[in-house]
Structure 1
Amino acid sequence: MNSSNSVDINGNKIRLIREQKGLTQLYLATVVGVTTDTISRWENRRYPSIKLENAKKLAEALEVSLEELLEMEADREPDAEIGGEEAAADKAVSSLAGRIGVPWPRGRWWILAGAGVLIVAALAWAVIVTNRSGMEAVRIMPAHTAPNLSFPVLIRITGALDAGNTLLIRDELLGEGQAIGAEGEGSPKEFGKNPRWIGKLAGGEAAFLYLVKPDKKLRPDEEIEFAGDLITREGQSFGEKIGGERRITIAPYHWADRDKDYVISDSEILRAHETYSLPGSNLIDFNEIEELWLAGKYDWNKKTQTFVPVAPTEGKQ
């Protein structure tokens, strides 16, 4: 049985959902703020009851409702003290409690004793849902990049035209790489694994651009994952989850070469400019990309971990 600050979770469901979404225990541990050993113990039901706060973080990381992770009536042995209509009523109330994030112990007297509490909690939950910020943050980035080649990450924030509150973007790298921001006072901002942006909307939108340099020891097909949120008001612990792209794959192609054919085409160079060029920002060295584009073709030098323009061979198409 759980306390008011904890909930009973179903470890089998957690493992199944994680595996279906292709997530690792390390990813969940990083987002929730626990160790991989703790995630393993949750999945193996060594810790059947966990803190409500951690359960909410876990549900957010898995992109499911909290109810889907809870140990529900159908997952347990029947209670001999509750039968017939009372058992059905208890199950229905427990299900409602799970949907709104309220722990619900089993038993006959809880049905009547806590009915008023549930009604108030349900109304409060409805107020929270209907009063969300109405703002959205979406992460845009290439599908691949080469080892040791910096690539851009753009987060676009949209909302009401008259929104005047200050916003905070908290992004996070879950992999081997370092984030770099636009220059401030003559030197680039070193974000490490935690890019941050604070500002306001202008005309209902804003944008946060930064670069990520993958560690040169990363190998092809390895990935860097991202997780972050948008804080819209003071005192807010959990923000609106950043949508859009969540991972990038290491491959021996330039990030602007979308079809990975060692040719940066006219449409690809245009798309790179249109997507990642921000007024007043010189974070991206487009001259280097244009050199590869003008050459018509390029190669990846594995030894130096650089791209080399390839001059057209005379007599060949």
Structure 2
Amino acid sequence: MVDSTDKTEKGASASIAIDGTRARNVREAKKLTQLYVANVVGVTTDTISRWENNRYPSIKRDNAQKLADALEVTLEEILRAEDPEEPDTQPVTAQVPSRKRVLLPLSVLALLLLGTLLYFILRQPAPAPRAIRWAPRFAAPGEVIPVQVKVARQPASPFGFILRERLPAGARLVSALPITSSTESEGKWLVPTGGTPATVSYSLKVPSNFPAGKDAAFKGELVVHGGEASNRTESVGGSTSVHIGAYHWADSNGDGRIDDDEIMPAYYICEEMKGLGLDWKTIEAIWSGKGYRWDTKSGYTVLK
């Protein structure tokens, strides 16, 4: 028989408490919108608002990690601080050693700790910039979908970079901003040195014969050049795949319709990526109707 306490601890490990106020302050300091954060995490802006206002005592650990990635901080920086434990006030009886015996080992230990600390401070590399990919959760075979990679840069530490995006198997790059040097399986962008955030946007056509029910996977890397002797390379975070099925990319929860919570993010994406082949008219028609149906022969059918 499994102990009930053990069950509780295992269940609790799936959720953690975040400091919503701290998360909101970080987002506002970095000039990120709730819409952008919601798109990266894969939730609605209403959910982000509830998190920031501490409406939930805890959230799923996966969502907390995605939130930290979107805010470009570590998970620990947005966790809620726990209440300090009460100190033990029970008296402790111990034999007091001589002062000389105590000071000598402590001095040696302090020197060792100081030397170790200085070593790691001097050897610590500069914080790597963060590149976060946003891609829709769903897409239908043959559909053109949007993808964005946002790269965090600051005036105090400008840099240029090369972005390489390995496309899902069989996918075709339709258009991109900035213009890309691409092959059949990879898109490449060269962005000059700058100290402001950069966004790489591209539209992608899912293969018509891509198996429904499978995930189309992305993989990317950022090669950073900041005037150093050698470049730094890091993986692109954020969305790593799109689930292929009978769903429109703007239908973020896969319920067969585009509701009010979904139309605004889709609108902003289409505006930011205007001219890159996205079909805004179909999105607007689905939103105005009662939903949609998709099949391999006729594509999307708007339900009136």
TM-score (norm 1): 0.51
Aligned with residue 141 of structure 1, among 110, 135, 141: 135
In structure 1, stretches of 5+ residues that fail to align are: 1-122, 312-317
1:205 corresponding residue in structure 2: 197
Alignment of 1:193 with 2:188, yes or no, is no
Match of 1:52 in 2: none
Alpha-carbon contact 2:203-2:276 (below 8 Å) kept: no
In 1: Cα distance, 2:171 partner to 2:196 partner: 32
Candidates 205, 223, 236, aligned match of 2:215: 223
1:130 counterpart (125, 128, 152): 125
Mapped to 1, the partners of 2:152 and 2:243 lie a distance apart of 27
Q: Distance in 1 between matches of 2:286 and 2:182?
A: 28
Matches within 5 A, 1:55-134: 127=123, 129-132=124-127, 134=128
What pairs with 1:238-257 in structure 2 (closer than 5 Å)? 239-257=233-251
Tell me if structure 2 keeps the 8 A contact 1:263–1:297.
yes
Are the structure 2 counterparts of residues 192 and 180 from structure 1 closer, same or farther at C-alpha, using a change threshold of 3 Å? farther
- Measure the CA separation in 2 of the matches of 1:154 and 1:255: 14
2:303 counterpart (281, 292, 310): 310
Give the conservation status (yes or no) of the 8 Å contact 1:161–1:202: yes
In the TM superposition, residue 183 of structure 1 has moved relative to its aligned partner by 7.6
8 Å contact kept, 2:140–2:246:
yes
Higher relative contact order (CA 8 A, sep 6+): 2
Aligned residues of 1:256 and 1:269 also touching (Cα < 8 A): yes
Could you tell me which amino acid in structure 1 is paired with residue 223 of structure 2?
Answer: I
Give the deviation of 1:126 after TM superposition: 6.7
Q: 1:180·1:192 contact (CA, 8 Å) conserved in 2?
A: no
Give the residue type in structure 2 aligned to 1:272. A
RMSD over equivalenced CA pairs, Å: 3.2
Describe the shift of the 1:257–1:201 C-alpha distance in structure 2 as closer, same or farther (beyond 3 A): farther
> CA 1:180–1:192 in 2, change beyond 3 Å: closer, same or farther?
farther
Deviation at 1:209, TM superposition (A): 0.7
Give, in whole Å, the separation in 1 of the partners of 2:164 and 2:252. Answer: 27
Shift, 1:205, TM fit: 0.4
TM-score, L = length of structure 2: 0.53
Kindly tell me the number of residue pairs found equivalent between the two proteins: 186
Where in structure 2 are there 5+ consecutive unaligned residues? 1-118
Q: CA 1:277–1:239 in structure 2 vs 1: closer, same or farther (change >3 Å)?
A: farther
